[in-house]
Amino acid sequence: YSTFALGLVSSFGLAWINTVQANISLTIRQDIAGNVSFPTLYGYMYEDINHSGDGGIYAEMIRNRAFQMNDTGGTPDLAHYSSVNGGGSSSTIHLDSAVPFNDVLTHTLRLDITQVKQGGRAGFSNEGWEGIRIQPGEKYTASFFAKSSKYTGPLTVSIESSSGTVLAKATVPSVSSSFKKYTIELAPSVKTTTTDNVFVISTSTTNASGSIWFDVISLFPPTFKNRANGLRADIGQIMADTKPSFFRFPGGNNIEGINAQSRWKWNETIGPIETRPGRLGDWGYMNTDGQGLLEYLEMCEDLNMEPVLAVWAGYSLDQKSIAEADLGPYVQDSLNELEYVMGSTKTKYGALRASHGHAEPFDLKYVEIGNEDFFSTTYDYRYKAWYTAIKKAYPKLQIIATGGETSSPMETLDDHYYQSGPAMVADYNKYDNHPRNGTTIMVGEYATNVNGCCGTSPANMQAAVADAVFASGLERNSDLVQFAAYAPTFTRDGQAQWNPDLIGFNTEQVWGTPPYYVQQMWSANRADTILQVDAANGKLGPLYWVAGSKKSTQQVFLKVANYGSSSQTASINLKGGRVHSQGVSIVLSGGVNDTNSAASPKNVVPKTSTFNIAGGNTFNFTFPAWSASVLLLDNM
């Protein structure tokens, strides 16, 4: 971190800082040994909620690309498609189950052409996910399968504004009587970003006639790290900006299934996308599963995150459990899944993974058994069955329990917190006196819900500061707390089934909420050693803190949350060591109810400045009302 690259200091602010009286004195103890902090501490928890997968982080731009089911998981339909008839031509579109694409995708879109007039066209459009974002300088890859009853001429593929201005078009030279995949690049020449666009496939061949069937109609923009079938680049980037260490997936509730039959089945999320049936997710809408097990693992590679893979463990949202005697095939299914992830190419499922383009086994270290099994009464026998089988096959895997159990060793316990601001703040000390007995803690989901549990609160500054208090408590105890993740991570604007969320997006843009910036500041400024802090002339509240140091960069970090409506000045002292005369402050502050939104995505963002430290080890710093701050000091 170079202090020279940063903005100018406000000398007015400095003068003021030096004249006010300090409320509290904090002494950072570099003179005594600190505790080693787990390097995995900050990461993400992910599941498809709030339309955050399809139409969100998964970059596919076509909605309902393969007619797997309707939006709410029922009978397939042609939602999000429209007929296109230009210049007096006539054609119709139909959902056809008599001409399936394959055994998995049993419906196709049939275009029946009655007449194409000279200079006209016949075809269909797809409206995308609340439009299709076209940006200057980007190329788009369109692909689809098609076959025709008698037409053998060309098809035109285009991206157009909803009022008909063609932004890009390209031609597929011919179609034939059996399904064939067509892939084509579209390179719009535009100067501004627009979203009010549609994707069109049509024919302009005068007198074209008969039927043409289509399926797996797809359009991808450039993706994050250019992964095929990958992530929306801006959403991948905002994740990367927090420097996450782990990724807990695929749920969350979304792994569990509304019932056992509708659970997330790993083996139906792999292979070519045209072999994936899709599934009604637990949040009430259909998941294409275009983003499946392999894509999640590749996402971990691209974001440098340790995968924390949750396996289905015999319990679903209807609160029913598989009987102990019947667990065998389900446990075996998880072993197969682990072989797909970690097996060499000589194993059955390792070879399958290689055939999907990833020969190298993934270095999976963490497996979680189930999700929120503290809701169930059967976890003891289920945990034991999975724990025993997984340990036998993979002794080095670290197993994470999602509820209390006494049947087998507990290596890590996943605790979840969705609480009001005062309750989160009160839990700053939650793990201070927790036994250090070998069982580590994952806080696999937490978020301040200012209106209380659960899911109906704004992601405002009050929530963000309470998150900062709680996260500081976790970080102070990061010799015990191995993983911590905010939840949920994403919401599509207008589709929030749960609030608050870390990251909002719509078709056009993505933005962090105030809680996002706390995660970003706390995670990206990571200590390897937690230092003791002694307080004098005051006590905890409204200021809460954690201090740490990082050997490789010789830095000291002081993170401070001010959970209150007045600014607080602290006198900060370093014992043991001297620091350079200039420090860097990153401060997020705002009104208690301030937040970010589509209309005002950067209303609250952290501000970086430098400040002077006289004498090498003492300075006063004023923490604004409702703020979360990281102070970076460079050891000499």
Ligand X SMILES: *[C@@H]1O[C@H](CO)[C@@H](O)[C@H](O)[C@H]1NC(C)=O
Where in 204-302 does DSSP place strands (E)?
210-220, 246-249, 279-280, 286-287
Q: Where are the alpha helices (DSSP H) in 513-608?
A: 514-524
Calculate the alpha carbon distances from 499 to 210, 465, 486, 549 in Å.
50, 16, 12, 34
Name residues contacting ligand X, limited to 493-522 (CB under 6 A).
495-497
Name which of 280, 271, 278 is nearest 357 in CA terms: 271
Among the listed ranges 68-76, 219-227, 342-350, 597-605, the one in contact with ligand X (CB under 6 A) is 68-76
* Binds ligand X (CB under 6 A): choice among 10, 20, 137, 359: 20
Give, as ranges, the residues between 221 and 280 that touch ligand X (CB under 6 A): 265, 267-268
Q: Where are the alpha helices (DSSP H) in 77-152?
A: none
Residues 327-346 that bind ligand X (CB under 6 A): 333
For the window 398-417, what string marks contact with ligand X as x by the rule CB under 6 A?
Answer: ------------x-------
Residue 9 engages ligand X in binding (rule: CB under 6 A) = no
- Is cis: bond before 221, omega within 30 of 0? no
Nearer to ligand X, 51 or 416 (CB): 51
* Nearest residue to the partner ligand X, using Cβ: 74
Q: How far is the CB of 306 from ligand X (least distance, A)?
A: 22
Segments in 211-367 forming alpha helices (H)? 233-240, 253-256, 293-302, 328-342, 348-355
Check residue 454 for interaction with ligand X (CB under 6 A): no
Answer yes or no: are the C-beta atoms of 175 and 141 closer than 8 Å.
Answer: no
Q: 162 or 581, CB closer to ligand X?
A: 581
Give dist(CA 106, CA 117) in Å, integer.
32
Strands 140-148 and 210-220: antiparallel
Nearer to ligand X, 70 or 141 (CB): 70
Provide the minimum distance between the beta carbon of 195 and ligand X in the complex, in angstroms, as a whole number: 19
- Residue closer to ligand X, measured from CB, 497 or 608: 497
| Structure-block tokens of residue 342 | 């970690």
Q: Which is nearer to ligand X, 284 or 357 (CB)?
A: 284
Exposure string over 132-169, b if 16+ CB within 10 A, otherwise e: bbbbeeeebebbbbbbbeebebebbbbbbbeeeeebbb
CB 249 within 8 A of CB 57: no
Q: Whole-number minimum distance, CB 232 to ligand X, in Å?
A: 19
- Nearest residue (CB) to ligand X, 367 versus 496: 496
Please name the residues in contact with 360: beta carbons below 8 A apart, sequence gap of 6 or more: none
3-state secondary structure of 86: strand
Q: Is 301 helix (H, G, I), strand (E, B) or coil?
A: helix
397 contacts ligand X (rule: CB under 6 A): no
Q: How far is the CB of 481 from ligand X (least distance, A)?
A: 11
Q: How far is the CB of 304 from ligand X (least distance, A)?
A: 27
Site string for ligand X, 111-130 (x = CB under 6 A): --------------------
Q: Could you tell me which stretch among 21-29, 186-194, 314-322, 358-366 binds ligand X (CB under 6 A)? A: 21-29
Query: What is the C-alpha to C-alpha distance for residues 165 and 391, in angstroms, rounded to an integer?
Result: 60
Q: Residue 201, SS3?
A: strand
Identified binder of ligand X from the candidate list 530, 556, 574, 630, rule CB under 6 A: 530
Q: Considering the complex, what minimum distance in angstroms separates the CB of residue 167 from ligand X?
A: 28
Among 27, 30, 34, 46, binds ligand X (CB under 6 A): 34
Residues 87-106 that bind ligand X (CB under 6 A): none
Span interacting with ligand X, options 14-22, 131-139, 211-219, 511-519, rule CB under 6 A: 14-22
User: Strand, helix or coil at 424?
Assistant: helix
In the complex, least distance from residue 110 CB atom to ligand X, rounded to whole angstroms: 20
Q: How far apart are CA 234 and CA 509, in angstroms?
A: 8
What is the nearest approach in angstroms of ligand X to the Cβ of residue 539?
Answer: 12
- Measured CA to CA, the distance from residue 51 to residue 284 in angstroms comes to 10
The single residue among 82, 176, 319, 593 that binds ligand X, judged by CB under 6 A, is: 593
**Contact at 8 Å (CB) between 549 and 557?**
yes
Binding residue for ligand X (CB under 6 A) from 81, 394, 619, 626? 619
Nearer to ligand X, 75 or 456 (CB): 75
Q: Rank residues 524 and 592 by Cβ distance to ligand X and give the closer one.
A: 592
Q: Which is nearer to ligand X, 47 or 302 (CB)?
A: 47
What is the Cα–Cα distance from 486 to 479, expressed in whole angstroms?
19
Residue 124: C-alpha distances to residues 84, 121, 204, 212, 287 (Å): 5, 10, 12, 11, 23
Q: Using CB under 6 A as the criterion, what x/- string covers residues 273-312 for binding ligand X?
A: -----------xx---------------------------
Is residue 2 a contact residue for ligand X (CB under 6 A)? no
CB nearer to ligand X: pick between 395 and 435: 435
Q: What is the DSSP string of 490-531?
A: EEETT--SSB--SEEE-SS-EEE-HHHHHHHHHHHS--SEEE
User: Residues 487, 446: contact at Cβ < 8 Å?
Assistant: yes
Q: Which of 11, 226, 437, 552 binds ligand X (CB under 6 A)?
A: 437
**Least distance in angstroms from the C-beta of 206 to ligand X:** 4
Q: Site for ligand X (CB under 6 A): how many residues?
A: 48
Query: Which CB sits closer to ligand X, 247 or 283?
Result: 283
Query: 546-585: which residues touch ligand X (CB under 6 A)?
Result: 566-569, 571
Q: Does the protein bind ligand X through residue 359 (CB under 6 A)?
A: no
Q: Quick one: which segment of 7-15, 510-518, 551-559, 613-621 binds ligand X (CB under 6 A)?
A: 613-621
Residue 110 lies near ligand X (rule: CB under 6 A): no
Min dist CB 187 to ligand X, Å, is 30
Contact (Cβ atoms closer than 8 angstroms) between residue 163 and residue 225: no
Query: Using CB under 6 A, which of the segments 239-247, 353-361, 524-532, 550-558 binds ligand X?
Result: 524-532
Instruction: Quote the distance between the C-alpha of residue 343 and its chain's center.
Output: 26
Among 206, 398, 407, 608, binds ligand X (CB under 6 A): 206
594: how many CB neighbours lie within 10 A of its CB? 17
Bridge partners of 158? Answer: 169, 200
Residues that bind ligand X (CB under 6 A): 18, 20-23, 34-35, 51, 70-72, 74-75, 206-207, 265, 267-268, 284-285, 333, 410, 435-439, 476, 479, 495-497, 530-532, 566-569, 571, 591-593, 614, 618-620, 622
